[in-house]
Amino acid sequence: MLWIVATPLGNRGDLSSRAREVLETVSFLLCEDTRRTGQLLSLCGVRTPELVSLHEHNETQRLPWVLARLAQGEDAALVSDAGTPLMADPGYRLVAACWQAGIPVSPVPGPCAAVAAVVASGLPPYPFVFLGFLPRKPGEVAAVLAPYAALAVTLVWYDRKNRVPASLAVAHRVLGERAFCLARELTKRHEAFIHGRLGQDMAALSGLMGEVTVVVGPPEGCEPAWEAARLMHEARALVAAGLGPREVARRLARVSGWSAKEVYRMLVEER
């Protein structure tokens, strides 16, 4: 079994009893930074299993070795430096490879910075799109954000403290004026939520500390994207009125928050 175990963002009290049990019983633990994870386990009083590094630079090379040990009947757990693995952290290739090899994977849910920031931000919690870490170059940031400019969704991403003002400036240029919330030092002593609007003076953000979770609300005045049930109800009504699937998809894409491609796919699959 490969366990995907969420670990605290900063407050050690957020390590669940189930996570503790799994971490103490697996044969080996895959982690981004063995030293950092070892310190966390020690502070939490968790018996430290064999620690093996697995990060963005060695994940592919580690796969055969990890899969071989799992195939021999050993259990392993995957953790990131903080929060939920795979959420802008390594592990996707490993999880996919495990399923392909017939090795079961099970999550041990817990802290996640993106979810924690969204629910405490005061901005619409769903639908939201998680973008991970944005690229470094402004042009690449703009390319990532552009597809969401016309969608009624909340956007969430992780950012380095020194890049936040530049990222928000690009977001304003691409997305227009929207409300945002910056969540920093989540669950820690100096936890803070900074609210503002895209386009305002970003000089006040120059003193940010640590990794920041950015939450940008949807365009104001837009209704949230329709739920799937409502979408299909409206789609069926249009089909019953004699419209073809492609025309139905085009019409609903203008008002529902769903793309024409998504609407068309759902119509075809229902046939």
CA–chain centroid gap for 69, Å, is: 29
Which DSSP state fits 163?
G
Class of the CATH domain delimited by 2-111: alpha beta
**What are the residues whose beta carbons fall under 8 Å from the beta carbon of 15, sequence distance 6 or more?**
7, 8, 44, 46, 110
| Residue type (1 letter), 135 | P
Render each residue's pLDDT in the chain as its tens digit; 271 residues: 999 999 999 999 999 999 999 999 999 999 999 999 999 999 999 998 899 999 999 999 999 999 999 999 999 999 999 999 999 999 999 999 999 999 999 999 999 999 999 999 999 998 899 999 999 899 999 999 999 988 889 999 999 888 899 999 999 999 999 999 999 999 999 899 999 999 887 666 766 777 899 999 998 766 556 778 888 888 898 888 888 899 999 888 877 778 888 888 888 887 7
3-state secondary structure of 209: coil
CATH topology of domain 114-216: 3.30.950
DSSP H/E element including 182: strand 179-184
What is the phi-psi region of residue 229: left when phi exceeds 0, alpha when psi lies from -120 to 50, beta otherwise? alpha
Task: Report angle CA 65, 68, 72 to the nearest 5 degrees.
Answer: 145
For 235, phi and psi rounded to 5 degrees? -65, -45
Which DSSP state fits 135?
P
Which DSSP state fits 67?
H
